[in-house]
C-alpha cells in the first residue's frame, strides 16, 4: 500500500473500499434472500406475533451486520494487496 502525501486517498484505497462495500452488500442481500426462501420462513415464521418476529429479525440483522463488517474489512485489505 502506498501512503499518499497529497492529502487525499490513493486510487488503490478507493478501489479496495468500493470492492469491500460491494462484497458486504452482496453478502447481506444473499443472506436475506436465502432466509426468505427457507421452509421455516414460509411456514412457521408467518405464525409468530409481531414482537417475536421483530426480535428474531433484529437478531438476524445484528449477526448479518457483524459478518458484513468483517467481510468488508477482509475484502478491503485483500483488494488493497491486489491493486498494489
What do you get for the CA distance between the two ends of the chain, in Å?
A: 6
Cα 54 to chain centroid distance, Å, stands at 20
Structurally, how many domains does the chain consist of?
1
Q: Would you say 66 and 28 are in contact if contact means Cβ atoms under 8 Å apart?
A: no
Report the pLDDT value the prediction gives residue 84, as an integer from 0 to 100.
Answer: 63
Kindly state whether residue 55 falls inside one of the protein's structural domains: yes
Kindly state whether residue 15 falls inside one of the protein's structural domains: no
Phi and psi (nearest 5°) for 8?
Answer: -145, 155
Phi and psi (nearest 5°) for 55?
Answer: -65, -45
Please state whether 62 falls in left (phi above 0), alpha (psi between -120 and 50) or beta.
alpha
Low-confidence ranges of the chain (pLDDT < 50): none
Kindly state whether residue 50 falls inside one of the protein's structural domains: yes
Range of the domain at 45: 24-83
Kindly state whether residue 8 falls inside one of the protein's structural domains: no
Report the pLDDT value the prediction gives residue 2, as an integer from 0 to 100.
Answer: 58
Report the pLDDT value the prediction gives residue 76, as an integer from 0 to 100.
Answer: 80
Report the pLDDT value the prediction gives residue 12, as an integer from 0 to 100.
Answer: 76
Kindly state whether residue 45 falls inside one of the protein's structural domains: yes
Kindly state whether residue 18 falls inside one of the protein's structural domains: no
Amino acid at each position: 500500500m502506498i501512503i499518499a502525501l497529497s492529502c487525499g486517498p490513493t486510487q488503490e484505497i478507493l478501489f479496495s473500499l468500493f470492492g469491500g462495500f460491494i462484497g458486504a452488500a452482496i453478502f447481506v442481500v444473499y443472506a436475506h434472500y436465502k432466509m426468505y426462501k427457507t421452509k421455516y420462513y414460509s411456514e412457521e415464521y408467518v405464525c409468530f406475533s409481531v414482537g417475536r418476529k421483530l426480535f428474531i429479525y433484529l437478531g438476524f440483522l445484528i449477526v448479518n451486520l457483524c459478518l458484513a463488517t468483517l467481510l468488508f474489512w477482509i475484502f478491503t485489505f485483500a483488494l488493497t494487496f491486489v491493486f498494489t
